[in-house]
């Protein structure tokens, strides 16, 4: 089965309520206009309900930006997977580079969140990727191997096949720098090899792998034209309907859908 391209916006800590609703409405229209591409948005948690309502009746899916690994409890300031599910989320981003490197989340914590996401009925978007110094030191494969292996630890094949992986070289996030299509494809192909080793070749070919890191309308086509790049996790460019819609359209052209 061909992998359906998946382009998802990560709004991070941006938008007010009215902006979020307007952005969701525009994104939902782009999703309806491009049925060959799965389109999603991950708004701030406080606006999830409003975004879900704005996207009602359209193909657009909604996700959380993070979650805790316990389903409930005395964890002030956290949000649980069942809460995201209750609000209407389908996906949840886990292990984003900002969670790893700004908030210090280690691999084992992220792995617990992955399992908790499935327990809550959510699909994880598992982010993996290296720092600039790690790439310069030739450690890209080792870092990605560690992130993928930890994130998939203990997952049954049926769960593993559902995980969306987002390869995001940290040096390309919010910097204006972008991995070249060849650089990105090389790592995406490496991830498929890892999955084949962890499970089997069929599962490796089923898992969708997004690219994340300064994706824009002018580079989306070249990136998504690569054989193993199945979509994009988009930050800043997802905050404007025009730019995000253009990325979706370019992705659809690149994949011929």
| Domain residue ranges of the chain, discontinuous segments joined by + | 66-227
171 in helix, strand or coil?
helix
Count of residues in the chain: 257
123 DSSP β-pair partners: 91
Q: Which helix (H) or strand (E) holds 28?
A: helix 17-33
Binning pLDDT at 50, 70 and 90, where does residue 212 land?
very high
Interval 142-178: pLDDT, tens:
999 999 999 999 999 999 999 999 999 998 877 777 7
Q: Where are the beta strands (DSSP E) in the chain?
A: 6-10, 38-42, 61-64, 91-94, 123-128, 164-167, 209-211, 231-234
Mean per-residue pLDDT over the chain, rounded:
97
Least-confidence region, from 45-49, 57-61, 171-175, 184-188: 171-175
pLDDT at 255: 98
* Residues carrying an active site annotation: 96, 168
CATH number given to 66-227: 3.20.20.70
**How far are the Cα atoms of 108, 170, 179, 188 from residue 134, in angstroms, in the given order?**
20, 10, 14, 17
Of the two residues 202 and 177, the one the predictor is more confident about is: 202
Q: What percentage of the chain carries pLDDT values higher than 70?
A: 100
pLDDT at 250: 98
Q: Which helix (H) or strand (E) holds 246?
A: helix 241-255
How far is CA 31 from its chain centroid? Answer: 16
The yes-or-no verdict on residue 179 having pLDDT over 90 is no
Concatenate the DSSP letters of all residues of 44-90 into one string. -GGGHHHHHHHHTTSS-EEEES--BSSSSSS-TT--BHHHHHHHT-S
Q: What percentage of the chain carries pLDDT values higher than 90?
A: 94
Binning pLDDT at 50, 70 and 90, where does residue 128 land?
very high
pTM above 0.95, yes or no: yes
pLDDT at 177: 77
Q: Which helix (H) or strand (E) holds 218?
A: helix 217-224
């Amino acid at each position: 089965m061909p992998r359906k391209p998946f382009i998802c916006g990560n709004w991070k800590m941006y938008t007010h309520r009215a902006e979020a609703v307007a952005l969701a409405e525009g994104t939902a229209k782009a999703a309806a206009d491009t049925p060959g591409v799965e389109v999603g948005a991950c708004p701030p948690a406080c606006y999830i309900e409003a975004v879900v309502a704005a996207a009602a009746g359209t193909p657009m899916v909604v996700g959380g930006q993070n979650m805790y690994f316990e389903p409930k409890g005395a964890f002030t300031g956290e949000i649980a997977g069942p809460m995201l599910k209750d609000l209407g989320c389908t996906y949840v981003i886990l292990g984003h580079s900002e969670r790893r490197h700004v908030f210090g989340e280690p691999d084992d914590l992220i792995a617990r969140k992955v399992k908790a996401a499935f327990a809550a009925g959510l699909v994880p978007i598992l982010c993996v990727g290296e720092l600039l110094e790690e790439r310069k030191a030739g450690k890209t494969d080792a870092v990605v191997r560690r992130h993928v292996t930890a994130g998939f630890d203990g997952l049954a094949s049926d769960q593993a096949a559902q995980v969306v992986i987002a390869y995001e070289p940290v040096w390309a996030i919010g910097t204006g720098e972008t991995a070249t299509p060849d650089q990105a494809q090389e790592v995406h192909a490496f991830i498929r090899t890892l999955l084949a080793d962890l499970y089997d070749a069929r599962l490796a070919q089923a898992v969708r792998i997004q690219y994340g890191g300064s994706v824009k309308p002018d580079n989306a086509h070249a990136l998504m034209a690569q054989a193993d790049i199945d979509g994009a996790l988009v930050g800043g460019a997802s905050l404007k309907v025009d730019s995000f819609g253009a990325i979706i359209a370019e992705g659809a052209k690149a994949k011929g859908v």
